Copies of this chain bind each other. A is one copy, B any other.
């Protein structure tokens, strides 16, 4: 049993000691040369995370939670009365839609929902929705794809969907919510023609919560800068973009005080992540995820995603077996030293649980902890009388 309870939820995750040390970096002025150098490196490193070499694209790192990323899209990448198509595979996709409704109105947000909980949305359905809109002379201005929906553990095929968008409705900007996918799942920002990717610090990025991280294409930057009336102040990219460009070029600038310590921790984690090739990291996540899912399947448990092809690699969403008291299982696993997460999707939320496997305790030096977490789940099930 671990000496303290380990966090195996789909974010926040366990952090490396070096990242935690960076969190307690002694104070530095936010415009000091010492801090500017760190923020500059962090912004440059962010490009690598998204495999982008386009100098016109821009990383945006702002104090806030992942949720703030949705507002950055609604407030900057859309104009009032423009239309968005939301590809929904769960709670977080739906919440992104709720956020966009605030900015462009209820009737301008169309949600294309997966047929059932645990399914992905068929690419052919997306194609047909895009075509219909285009044929009606009102192509969608934005499509949003939640790469991994943290509620269902469903992975959407961003590459294929993007290819369809480029083919059918190339004027539609492609927005990816990669909060639970960045670092776990391949995302080729330039190659696939993504326009805006939003993520956050507390998942596979491996840093405590508190940073909203975005990456915007030249087209998205241009649209944000052309917006006539800002929809917010803190959420206004016309204010943030010059700040990010200044820091990335090695100069301090001020709009709102950045979190010096979180940026230090972010850059530290990026340096650790980027010390391996990003493709090797994706492969390591696939291995860790496959092993974990195989072991649960061997116990006779059923995954929420309807097939392995659409199961995300940073977490596992899995149904409680028949007759097992869910809250009791979670609390038993907790007593063995592992915090795992309950469900979070509408009527299903009491029917399944979620285990996050990201960062140091999944693919890093402490990856044995994930095996230990599995053992804790297995023995807890047995204690509750589970028989295969």
Contacts and interface: CB of A to CB of B under 8 A. Distances in A.
Interface of A: 4-7, 9, 11-15, 20-21, 23-30, 32, 34, 63-68, 70-71, 74-75, 98-99, 102, 200, 202, 208-210, 230-236, 254-262, 339, 341, 344
Contacts of A11: 257
B234 A71 contact: yes
A105 to B, nearest CB: 10
A71 B232 contact: yes
Given A11-B257, A64-B68, A66-B257, A29 B341 contact: yes
Nearest to A91: B254
24 contacts: A5-B32, A12-B27, A12-B29, A14-B27, A15-B26, A20-B25, A23-B261, A24-B24, A30-B209, A63-B64, A63-B68, A63-B210, A64-B234, A65-B234, A68-B256, A70-B233, A71-B232, A75-B232, A102-B231, A208-B260, A208-B262, A209-B260, A210-B210, A235-B235
B20 A7 contact: no
A258 B209 CA distance: 6
A86 to B, nearest CB: 14
A366 to B, nearest CB: 12
Given A65-B63, A71-B232, A208-B261, A15 B27 contact: yes
Given A24-B20, A29-B9, A102 B230 contact: yes
Contact of A5 (B34, B200, B257): B34
B208 A67 contact: no
B102 A233 contact: yes
A24 B20 CA distance: 5
Nearest to A11: B257
A11 B260 CA distance: 11
A256 B32 contact: no
Contacts of A98: 233
A360 to B, nearest CB: 10
Contacts of A231: 102, 232
Nearest to A95: B233
- Name the residue among A4, A68, A70, A71 with the largest chain B CB count within 10 angstroms: A68
Interface centre among A29, A102, A235, A258 (most CB of B within 10 A): A29
A21 B24 contact: yes
Given A70-B233, A71-B234, A210 B15 contact: no
A99 B210 contact: no
Contact of A67 (B12, B34, B233): B233
A359 to B, nearest CB: 9
A358 B281 CA distance: 44
A251 to B, nearest CB: 14
Given A7-B27, A65-B259, A208-B262, 12 more contacts: A7-B29, A7-B32, A9-B29, A12-B260, A29-B339, A63-B65, A63-B210, A66-B256, A68-B256, A71-B235, A102-B232, A259-B262
Nearest to A68: B234
Nearest to A361: B27
A-B CB proximity, top 10 nearest: A210-B259, A67-B256, A65-B256, A99-B233, A20-B24, A7-B27, A208-B261, A23-B23, A209-B257, A24-B24
Nearest to A7: B27
Contacts of A14: 26-27
A282 to B, nearest CB: 23
Nearest to A340: B29
